[in-house]
Copies of this chain bind each other. A is one copy, B any other.
Amino acid sequence: MNGAESLVRTLVDGGVELCFANPGTSEMHFVAALDSVSGMRCVLCLFEGVATGAADGYYRMARKPAASLLHVGSGLGNGLANLHNARKARSGIVNIVGNHAVYHQQHDTPLSADVEAVARPMSDWVRSATSSRTVAADAADAIAVACQPPGRIASLILPANTAWEAADGPAAPRSVQPRSTVSRELVRNVASILQANEGVTLLLGDAGLYARAKELAGRIAAKTGCSLLSEYQSAREERGVGRVAIARIPYSVDSAVAMLRETRHLILIGAKPPVAFFAYPEKPSVLTQPDCQLTTLANADEDIEQALYALAEELGALDTPPLQVATGPRPLPAKGPFTLEGIAQSLAAFIPDDAVVVDESVSSGRGFAPITQNAAPHDWLSPMGGSIGFGLPQAVGAAVAVPDRKVILLQADGSAMYTLSAMWTMAREQLNIVIVVFSNRGYKILLGELANVGGGKPGGNAMRMMTIDDPALDWQALARGFGMTSSRACNLDEFNRELALGIDHKGPHLIELVL
């Protein structure tokens, strides 16, 4: 058995059964080991950012880590943006990066780079294997880091000779600590804040947006009269009919400040203190009022559902019917010319039971949340690191994790350009994905941002940096290029028809919305 085989066996034994790979020369023994070790499914991606983004999406839906397999420092560079997104989403990934053989690293070769230094900014844990005899133990350590809730990015650098030289065998899985629970004292303290004050808001994030946690929050709100909010975006929100509907803090600083203006006590439950996505001249960074008191009930690495249960119990709210449950009816499809509200309404009408919505709609989709609360129950996955190029890979990973569920990807056109080749992986693996492309032929978000930062009215040169209409991207041709079927909708009636067909379609399908 060589090091690569011991590594792959360790991964499989540790529950890592999926590998999103874009391998190169230094990973060839890993690839060869896939034929000698059973239990590892390897999905080829044609760009590293697809592999890391898919691993993020896989973790969110499978709730266990996949491996990504990348090639040397520059390949890792290509994977960083979606590792960043995954890390901010607290997804666990065993990120394996091949490197030159240990004894070859002293030479100045074309691909020489400080792989550890490239990995560090977007990783929670970085280690370079030093020997084929210990690479299995390194892998077991990496798995334990990635699995530790909430997930972490464990980057294991694999010099080629540690893969091809002899190994003793796989390493046994390490034990993983469960999420720690919050103290009774803290729960009592938060309960007393809720009981003694007006203007209390629970701000939910992370696992606080799973259905059961939201239900507990709804009971607490019903019992105490507090408000419920969620962070602007969430890694995975379980929502739709039958679930507590919670408003999101909006992206716009002014709107966010207005929404939080009456909050005197903000209780953070898997959420971070709310701050502006970007700074803007004359606008605050911190979204809460200066006299607002922030209290953390539970961090993302603690057991959020337990904390909410304990709080509800303390408040005697366990049997209180929850507030704000979405009861339907499911909206009817909208008709006529395209409006963003109409698109949201049609989505809400057609989202099938148990669908997964991956949202990289960027500027187009900011108002979709309220309108889709009464859709069929679904999971909604958002980019957590703000780095575009998230949607297509995320959809790949989600669809691989839950193949029987329909994935609906809301994809802005500009953002799709960063990881476009994910469409090929969708076609090859015949993933169950409908891509809805918001083809507005521009970086519409930047027009708003230019105004926000006080950049004035854009002139000809600036406008040319924010429009992608010359030439217009031909989305149906791009889909065909990657081996995927597609259609086109120029109004809501066409969208309704194509969305219904796309959802019925087996395998991936792209619908271009010509906005």
Residues of A within 8 A of B (CB): 21, 23-26, 28-29, 31-32, 34-36, 42, 44, 46-47, 49, 72-75, 77-81, 84-85, 88, 100-101, 103-104, 107-111, 113-114, 117-118, 120-122, 160-161, 164, 233, 272-273, 275-279, 281, 285-286, 383-387, 389, 414, 417-418, 420-421, 424, 427-428, 445-446, 449-450, 452-456, 458-462, 464-466, 468, 470-475, 477-478, 480-483
A47 to nearest B CB, angstroms?
5
A461 to nearest B CB, angstroms?
4
Residue contacts A-B, CB under 8 angstroms, 15 given = A23-B465, A25-B278, A47-B389, A47-B417, A72-B386, A74-B81, A100-B278, A104-B278, A110-B277, A164-B455, A420-B420, A424-B471, A473-B482, A474-B483, A477-B477
How far is B77's CA from A453's CA once the two chains are assembled, in angstroms?
Answer: 24
B100 lies within 8 A of A113 (CB): no
A428 lies within 8 A of B471 (CB): yes
User: Which B residue sits closest to A421, measured CB to CB?
Assistant: B417
Q: Which residues of B contact A32 (CB under 8 A)?
A: 450, 455-456, 458-459, 462
Q: Which residues of B contact A113 (CB under 8 A)?
A: 84, 121-122
Copies of this chain present in the complex amount to 2
A159 to nearest B CB, angstroms?
9
How far is B107's CA from A454's CA once the two chains are assembled, in angstroms?
Answer: 22
Closest 3 CB pairs of A and B: A471-B483, A77-B80, A35-B459
A3 to nearest B CB, angstroms?
12
B121 lies within 8 A of A117 (CB): yes
Given A34-B461, A160-B279, A474-B483, output 13 extra A-B contacts at Cβ < 8 Å.
A73-B84, A74-B81, A74-B387, A77-B81, A78-B418, A104-B278, A108-B275, A109-B277, A110-B386, A118-B122, A160-B278, A427-B471, A477-B480
A111 lies within 8 A of B424 (CB): no
B118 lies within 8 A of A121 (CB): yes
A112 to nearest B CB, angstroms?
8
Known: A279-B100, A475-B481. A465 touches B84 (CB 8 A): no
Q: Which residues of B contact A470 (CB under 8 A)?
A: 428
Q: Which residues of B contact A482 (CB under 8 A)?
A: 471, 473-474, 478
Q: Which residues of B contact A420 (CB under 8 A)?
A: 420-421
How far is B453's CA from A110's CA once the two chains are assembled, in angstroms?
Answer: 18
User: Which B residue sits closest to A69, measured CB to CB?
Assistant: B465
A173 to nearest B CB, angstroms?
23
The contact of A77 among B34, B122, B285, B384, by CB within 8 Å, is B122
Q: Which residues of B contact A164 (CB under 8 A)?
A: 281, 453-455
Q: Which residues of B contact A120 (CB under 8 A)?
A: 117
Q: Which residues of B contact A474 (CB under 8 A)?
A: 480-483
Q: Which residues of B contact A272 (CB under 8 A)?
A: 108
User: Which B residue sits closest to A272, measured CB to CB?
Assistant: B108
A279 lies within 8 A of B104 (CB): yes
Known: A465-B44, A483-B474. A458 touches B35 (CB 8 A): yes
How far is B279's CA from A164's CA once the two chains are assembled, in angstroms?
Answer: 11
A394 to nearest B CB, angstroms?
14
Q: Which residues of B contact A49 (CB under 8 A)?
A: 78
Known: A73-B121, A109-B277, A483-B471. A462 touches B31 (CB 8 A): yes
Q: Which residues of B contact A26 (CB under 8 A)?
A: 278
Q: Which residues of B contact A281 (CB under 8 A)?
A: 161, 164
User: Which B residue sits closest to A115, measured CB to CB?
Assistant: B121
A28 lies within 8 A of B450 (CB): yes
How far is B207's CA from A25's CA once the two chains are assembled, in angstroms?
Answer: 30
How far is B74's CA from A276's CA once the two chains are assembled, in angstroms?
Answer: 18
How far is B157's CA from A385's CA once the two chains are assembled, in angstroms?
Answer: 19
A511 to nearest B CB, angstroms?
15
A6 to nearest B CB, angstroms?
15
User: Which B residue sits closest to A428, measured CB to CB?
Assistant: B470
Q: Which residues of B contact A161 (CB under 8 A)?
A: 279, 281
User: Which B residue sits closest to A101, measured CB to CB?
Assistant: B279
How far is B279's CA from A161's CA once the two chains are assembled, in angstroms?
Answer: 8
Most buried by B among A79, A107, A273: A107
B74 lies within 8 A of A465 (CB): no
A460 lies within 8 A of B84 (CB): no
Q: Which residues of B contact A31 (CB under 8 A)?
A: 446, 450, 455, 458, 461-462, 465-466
Most buried by B among A23, A122, A387: A387
Known: A84-B73, A414-B46. A424 touches B468 (CB 8 A): yes
A285 lies within 8 A of B74 (CB): no
B449 lies within 8 A of A110 (CB): no
